[in-house]
Amino acid sequence: MSPVAMTVVLVVLVGLFSWSAVRRWKLLMIGGPEPRSSLSMDMNDLADRTKDTVIYAFLQKKMPYYPIAGIAHMGIFFGFLILLLRSLMLWSRGYDPHFDFWGILSLHNPIGILYNIAKDIFIILVVAGALVFVYYRVVVREKRMTLSGEGLLILGIIITMMLADVLYDAAWFIMEKRASGQAVAFSLVEPAGSLLALMLAPEQIGSGALKALYHVGFWYHSVMVLVFLNILPYSKHFHIITVIPNVFLRRKGNTGKLESVHDLEGKVEREEPVGRAKITDLSWKNILDLYTCTECGRCTDNCPAYNTNKKLSPKHVILAQRDHLYECEPYFLKPEVADPSKDDGGPEAASEEKQELHHGDPPKGAYFRSSKPVDLVPNILDPDVIWACTTCRACEEQCPVLISHVQGFIDMRRQKVMFDSDFPAELMKPFDGIETNSNPWNLSAMDRANWAEGLDVPLLSEHKEAEVLYFVGCAASFDDRAKKTAVGMVKLLKKAGVDFAILGAEEGCCGDPARRGGNEYLFQMIVQQNVDTFNNFGVKKIITACPHGFNIIKNEYPDFGGNYEVIHHTDFLLDLVKQNKLNPTKRVEAKVAYHDSCYLGRYHQIYDAPRRLLESIPGVELLEPEYWTRNRAMCCGAGGAQMFMEEQGDKRINFTRTKQLLETGADTIATACPFCMTMLLDGLKAENKEEEIGQLDILELLVRSIEFDN
């Protein structure tokens, strides 16, 4: 061994990595503040973050969503953790050939024996895992992955590095046996090394060749670990370094919450961005998200927009922004070359540099490149990309490194709506309707409670001491089909003896279409009106049959002084059944496929309550799609204000989702959201099965099973 050579290797390669790391850090710091992930001094907060870092970063909770790839990745990950100690040992042996951590990892020490066995086992697992990904890239050519030479290069380094380690052990094993006069034989203490030693025909190999193999194995492993380290900041494998801080500094609180824009009017007056206009409008945590993307494509593979041929691919939205950031590096790190504060020539100048990205299989014409810091939309992302998102969070649910996608889409929408007045024309009507009559259909606000005529439904203005406010929502107030769910809900509440009331004409739109549509000003106006109404009546507890209203009142109203106990009707009704206040006794013969609403399931992890409620109804047989169910359930296509927009392309999300549910053989599709109900009804009509297949809210099935007095 050569201490001089090892010193040169360590100084040069660690120095190069440090130079790259500093550049990436400086690029990270062009991002703005990130209040979402700022750490408090609360020990509970630190404990929660630490626990989730263990669960998601170390134990890789989401990896098994794709079983084979997930297990292969976990084998590589844990192998690298085990072998990190081995690398430290080899670098130290450049100075002392017999270094073994002061005898702790000696093969005469039980700890050393256990470590050596574990090391050899994980070397095999790492090689096997890497070969799985070679198979996916070369043979299967998995569409969701970024198929590039870089990926194969990394896999080649990993495989050969593992083999070099075994070669070093084998040569060492043979030399030790020769020195002691013992025959070379398989050893359980050194399984991989001794097995390769036998394969090398130790009786025939000369001492010179043996020494050469020993040095090849030693130096290849010692050097390639550091070469690999230097590749990381310039490849998708940068996530090996960034995933732990990215998970630790993740969004806290409920994932259904969007961040509010504070001092909105002031920002507009000062012409400050209210969302995400340029790459400089990202926070440092947003940039850390870009760094951490593994390019696995799980987000895109489960995106309803991508799967119905829209221009949106969540993976490529991340990559487009990341590549733009990297290409603008001279502007940010070398101010003498270019000053990003100066006029960049505008969109027209940038458009001349547009080139399609070639990461995997991006939708054609949707993602571009530019070496100037320009407006992200339309210069880096086609406008159709940001308006195709249904905010369903399938991308975030699948992401193994907890990247936040939806907030970015909404931030870009906010900028286009609030500053550029550039948004789909179809949104003008719901925006006007919400502003004028507090509903997206622009129907008279005075007609909001017409559905309740003759039902003797108490108004909160007349029954201020009511324990529960039933927030009906716009759909159940104005849509003829959804009105039936409101009627059913009233019947169930009365049957259970719940002390409730409604707001009637004083109820307003919850604001979800405005906020998800990017009209933050309209949202903040409407939410303040609602909060004032709720607080004036002293509202404490709210139930709603709309997951969108449930989510926004529960998670986003608190930013505006509205703090209430908010319960979705599936949880509320199930609790009434458990308390025997509602007793479903009449048989309802139905094979039911339940559609998980995104804003109920992925946003709030409410998967069991709707199913338990259905199972409480005699005669109901619950069926599930083979794949697209629970946290993988495909969106109906209505979220993110898509309910009020024309869908891009000729393949509709709701039609695709309806077919998935019909494949279960169900004769009834159950929902727990009025938007989902509308979309799936349209899907049944497209299949000419609206008469054959029932489409009911869960509460309507429950109503059929209850004995009412009249």
Express each pLDDT in 624-656 by its tens digit: 999 999 999 999 999 999 999 999 988 999 999
CB 672 within 8 A of CB 597: yes
Q: Dihedrals φ, ψ of 696, to 5°?
A: -130, 150
β-bridge partners, 542:
469, 566
Q: Which two tokens stand for residue 608?
A: 């069991």
Rounded to the nearest angstrom, the gap between the alpha carbon of residue 473 and the centroid of all alpha carbons in its chain is 28
- Digit-coded pLDDT (tens) for 578-612: 999 999 999 999 999 999 999 999 999 999 999 99
Mapped onto helix, strand or coil, the DSSP state of residue 468 is: strand
Contact (Cβ atoms closer than 8 angstroms) between residue 277 and residue 415: yes
User: 459 near 467, Cβ under 8 Å?
Assistant: no
Q: Which of 219, 402, 409, 194 is nearest to 298 (CA)?
A: 402
Average pLDDT estimate for 234-245: 94
- Omega cis (within 30) before 378: yes
Q: SS3 for 590?
A: strand
Q: For 386-401, how does the pLDDT look when each residue is reduced to its tens digit (9 = 90+)?
A: 999 999 999 999 999 9
DSSP letter at 15?
H
Q: What is the pLDDT of residues 312-364, one digit of tens each?
A: 999 999 999 999 999 999 989 875 544 444 544 444 444 444 555 555 678 87
CA dist 195 to 162, 166, 216, 499, Å? 14, 9, 18, 76
The owner of tokens 């608190």 is: 558
Task: Kindly state the helix (H) or strand (E) to which residue 433 belongs, with its residue range.
Answer: helix 428-437
Beta strands in 370-501 (DSSP E): 468-471, 500-501
**Residue 631, C-beta contacts closer than 8 angstroms, at least 6 positions apart:** 397, 596, 601, 602, 607
Per-residue tokens: 642: 């898509």
How confident is the model over 531-582, as pLDDT tens digits?
A: 999 999 999 999 999 999 999 999 999 999 999 999 999 999 999 999 999 9
Between CA 75 and CA 118 the distance in angstroms is 12
* Spatial contact of 415 and 663, defined as CB atoms under 8 Å apart: no
Q: Which residues in 630-647 are b (16+ Cβ under 10 Å) and which e?
A: bbbbbbbbbbbbbbbbeb
Amino acid letter for position 403: I
Domains, the chain, ordered by start: 3-20+44-247 (no CATH), 264-358+368-418 (1.10.1060), 427-574 (3.40.50), 578-705 (3.40.50)
CA distances to 205, 225, 514, 540 from 163, rounded to whole Å, are: 19, 13, 58, 65
- CB-CB contact of 585 with 707 (8 Å): yes
Give the pLDDT score at 349.
41
Q: Give the per-residue pLDDT at 232.
A: 95
pLDDT of residue 337: 46
CB 303 within 8 Å of CB 313: yes
In this structure, the chain runs to a length of 710
Q: Which two tokens stand for residue 144?
A: 């969701």
* Residue 238 structure tokens: 């940068």
